[in-house]
Chains A and B, each alone.
Chain A
Amino acid sequence: MDITVNILLTIATAATPLLIAAIGELVVERSGVLNLGVEGMMIMGAVGGFGAGYLTGSPWIGLLAAIAMGALFSLLFAVMTLSLATNQVATGLSLTLLGLGLSGMMGTSFVGQPGERLPNLDIPGLTSLPVIGRLLFGQDPIFYISIALTAAVMWFLFKTRTGLTLRSIGDSHASAHALGIKVIRYRYLSVIFGGACAGLAGGHLSLVYTPQWVENMTAGRGWIALALVVFASWRPWRVLAGAYIFGAVWIGQLHAQAFGIPVPSQMLSSLPYLATIVVLVLISRNKRLTMMNTPASLGQPFVPDR
């Protein structure tokens, strides 16, 4: 029983950074902007979060620093693509490359240092309940944030007027502009929200997952988050499902490798990617629904007439 709980807890820990980064990117893409710099913003959040935590001794300050770092870094992307109308794909890719390099440079003195870890939730009487206690009341704070964030984004996008406006911009920025909607302002805020989420996801890695700084520690998670958004056809609950499938198969194959199952480890390592894609493709079979949820103006720069 304890083993099961432990496995479930590790799955949640593996899925949380993917979920947060993907939910942030989902909002960005729903507004019609394709930010391929998730990996870069994430690693900046990781180094910023670790550094602030290490220097102040407070993981909570580290958490805030991670969010701020991601948001700040995304602002660079926003200025380039939204105000200067540069190509979003090229700018996003360079953001990732810049983030990986810059974080490595900033983190040289952190390598090998013990970091601060965010404490797990501990509610007397509840956390000690058998089985569900640790699952529901004993995880790290970012886990709860990730679930709340998913629910909040779902509610925001599909139940509020502002969310509707955001989706309309993603569908056709020209029409939105004609209605008097401030396209660029909405997109700025979306991109910064996405950056903050990516930063938070990076902070999860360096403040919870492995509380230390290792260069390139995001290890492609930003790219997986990007892929999740697309395969989930831009729908929040599917992103949640995708992140957890990925986390589950990831942890599962680690255990399988540890048991020494006679399958090449490379095959096992590729399983999470394969499984996530297969499951999300299966649930996205309805072409019409997918088309309706795809932001039609995704990746197109918007330059209003003057």
Chain B
Amino acid sequence: MSANQDGTNLLEVRGLTKIFGTLTACDHIDLDIARGEIHALLGENGAGKSTLVKMLFGSLEPNSGEIFWNGQAVRITSPGVAKKLGIGMVFQHFSLFEALTAAENIALSLDDGSPISSIAAKARALSYSYGLPLDPESMVGDLSVGERQRIEIIRCLLQTPQLIILDEPTSVLTPQEADKLFETLERLRSEGKSILYISHRLEEVKRICDRATVLRHGKVVGHCNPREETAASLARMMVGNEVQAVVRAPVEGIETAQPLLEIRGLTRKPATPFSIPLRNISLNVRAGEVIGIAGVAGNGQGEFFESVSGEVLQQDAASVRIRGKDAGGLTITGRRLLGAAFVPEERLGHGAAPRMKLSENLLLSRHATDGKAFVGTGGMVKSGAIYAASQRIIAAMDVRKSAPDPEAAALSGGNLQKFIVGRELDRRPSVMVVNQPTWGVDAGAAAHIRQALIELSRSGSAVLVISQDLDELFEISDAIAVMHNGELSKAMPIAEATFEKVGLLMGGAEPGHAEHTLETA
């Protein structure tokens, strides 16, 4: 596939280095991208993929190293320079304006001075020709994540770039939407464009990429042809050693077990004009099982978690029941006292107070439930006890840190997540609700967290996991329910669930009406 026109690669990177303080995020990176190839950039979270890409797109300046574009040495000092060269980028986060229309969003990234009215027509034409239908007049805040990504792609294509960088494009898509994206990418490749495809999903890299460069701890650890590798061998290159497989023993007689968490007709109005209402959600989680909730981001999972955890109270106290007691009107602390534990999606700000020490963060979530252990007479904090407990959690979850009791913000995302999950597991809660348990966590730590959640359930607790990562849900769940547009499907036993079935539900289809939705998707 690497059909060089004149012997030079489209892009060559030599010795690119970026240092943040004491951390070398990218350490002498070499990378070649040929014309008309889909090149994968593989690596775990924190391996330096995003930093490298930001340097290629001009958002960050390298400390040293060279970039050659069509054989010419170039300095990419700003995103504007990158665009002029012919580098386009489809971002994973933070690049659309919610309060503007799709056409306005596209217009902003084109500097050719063409009037906004003509951009809408161009965007519409281009979007249909690539099979990514788009209404230019719609407000971005009203669109689904998949639709937003279409805007990003169209926006990028309108600049007719030679190299398109895609950062984790499928992390927010249903499997069916991802298939559509792959078709678009293959079409772009056939037009001679090059694509740098960043992902940690090995199966899709094997499926569409011609070559791969693997990063680990900021260094290139290998180049390979992903089609000749197995998912396991790619994972080994990324992680550096074997990843422990998660073991889940099937549960017996769960139908007769007592439901510890009951959601009955949970309904909630949208909190802001751009958020999703919850529509009559019902679900039982029994002692001994893990139930997974799948769904594309932004379909009400966040709102659902807030309602279940007590961040937002319900009018109807019986809509959330914990261990047989109405909890809908109780605050987070009230629900914790009933034996529930919660791990929210945002680690900093929700899961932990960034500028407080780990031991203090432990106290924040457990002062009520473990009052006697951590708070003495007259409200004095037993600092020795909370320190000892936090060290116990750090050891149990293998939290890597630079000081004995660092501030939460000083930990990497994955390590902080291990601590937060560990803090709740340490209580042996009878109901555990987790939103995105392993988001941004490296593979080894993710396996550790997943195994711990399974073990908690097998010891007689009810575990509810909300995740966008389907692989994860299939690994740990005994049943999977799908959230779409604020509605929750019935939980499907894992033996009956397939990627295809779950994917269709994620796209809003009822099982059995698959064909129809594929056409409109």
- Chain A interface (Cβ < 8 Å from any Cβ of B): 161, 164-165, 167-168, 171-172, 174-181, 287-288, 291-294, 296, 305-306
- Cα–Cα, bound, A176→B59 (Å): 11
Residues A305 and B60 in contact, CB atoms below 8 Å apart = yes
Residues B61 and A306 in contact, CB atoms below 8 Å apart = yes
B79 CB within 8 Å of chain A: yes
- Cα–Cα, bound, A292→B139 (Å): 9
- Cα–Cα, bound, A291→B142 (Å): 12
Choice from A174, A180, A287, A292 contacting B99 with Cβ under 8 Å: A292
Residues A164 and B116 in contact, CB atoms below 8 Å apart = yes
Closest chain B residue to A175 by CB distance? B95
Interface set, chain B 92-106, CB cutoff 8 A to A: 94-100, 104-105
Apart from A180-B78, A180-B79, list 5 A-B contacts with CB within 8 A: A164-B107, A171-B100, A174-B94, A292-B99, A296-B99
Choice from A161, A172, A181, A291 contacting B273 with Cβ under 8 Å: A291
Residues A178 and B116 in contact, CB atoms below 8 Å apart = no
- Cα–Cα, bound, A293→B79 (Å): 27
- Cα–Cα, bound, A161→B104 (Å): 9
Chain B residues within 8 Å of A172, by CB: 94, 96-98
- Cα–Cα, bound, A164→B108 (Å): 7
Closest chain B residue to A171 by CB distance? B97
Chain A residues within 8 Å of B83, by CB: 180
Q: Quote the shortest CB–CB distance from B180 to chain A (angstroms).
A: 24
- Cα–Cα, bound, A124→B345 (Å): 71
Residues A296 and B108 in contact, CB atoms below 8 Å apart = no
For A174, A176, A178, the residue with the greatest tally of chain B CB atoms inside 10 Å of its CB is: A178
Residues B80 and A180 in contact, CB atoms below 8 Å apart = yes
Chain A residues within 8 Å of B95, by CB: 174-175, 178-179
Chain A residues within 8 Å of B272, by CB: 291
- Cα–Cα, bound, A179→B78 (Å): 9
Interface membership of chain B positions 339-379, coded 1 if the CB is closer than 8 angstroms to chain A and 0 otherwise: 00000000000000000000000000000000000000000
B58 CB within 8 Å of chain A: yes
Chain B residues within 8 Å of A174, by CB: 94-95
- Cα–Cα, bound, A287→B78 (Å): 37
Choice from B54, B82, B100, B113 contacting A167 with Cβ under 8 Å: B100
Residues B99 and A288 in contact, CB atoms below 8 Å apart = no
6 nearest A-B residue pairs (beta carbon): A180-B79, A180-B80, A288-B273, A171-B97, A175-B95, A292-B99
Chain A residues within 8 Å of B108, by CB: 164-165, 168, 176, 179, 181
Interface membership of chain B positions 101-136, coded 1 if the CB is closer than 8 angstroms to chain A and 0 otherwise: 000110111000100100000000000000000000
- Cα–Cα, bound, A288→B98 (Å): 12
Residues B100 and A180 in contact, CB atoms below 8 Å apart = no
Residues B80 and A175 in contact, CB atoms below 8 Å apart = no
Q: Quote the shortest CB–CB distance from A59 to chain B (angstroms).
A: 41
Residues B273 and A171 in contact, CB atoms below 8 Å apart = no
Residues B116 and A287 in contact, CB atoms below 8 Å apart = no
Chain A residues within 8 Å of B99, by CB: 167, 171, 291-294, 296
Choice from B82, B96, B107, B141 contacting A175 with Cβ under 8 Å: B96
Residues A179 and B79 in contact, CB atoms below 8 Å apart = yes
Interface set, chain B 23-74, CB cutoff 8 A to A: 54, 58-61
Residues A305 and B59 in contact, CB atoms below 8 Å apart = yes
* Interchain residue pairs with CB less than 8 A apart (11): A165-B108, A172-B98, A174-B95, A175-B94, A177-B79, A180-B58, A180-B80, A287-B273, A288-B273, A291-B273, A294-B99
Interface set, chain B 459-509, CB cutoff 8 A to A: none
Choice from A178, A287, A291 contacting B59 with Cβ under 8 Å: A178
Chain B residues within 8 Å of A176, by CB: 97, 108
B439 CB within 8 Å of chain A: no
B274 CB within 8 Å of chain A: yes
Residues B59 and A168 in contact, CB atoms below 8 Å apart = no
Chain B residues within 8 Å of A178, by CB: 59, 79, 91, 94-95
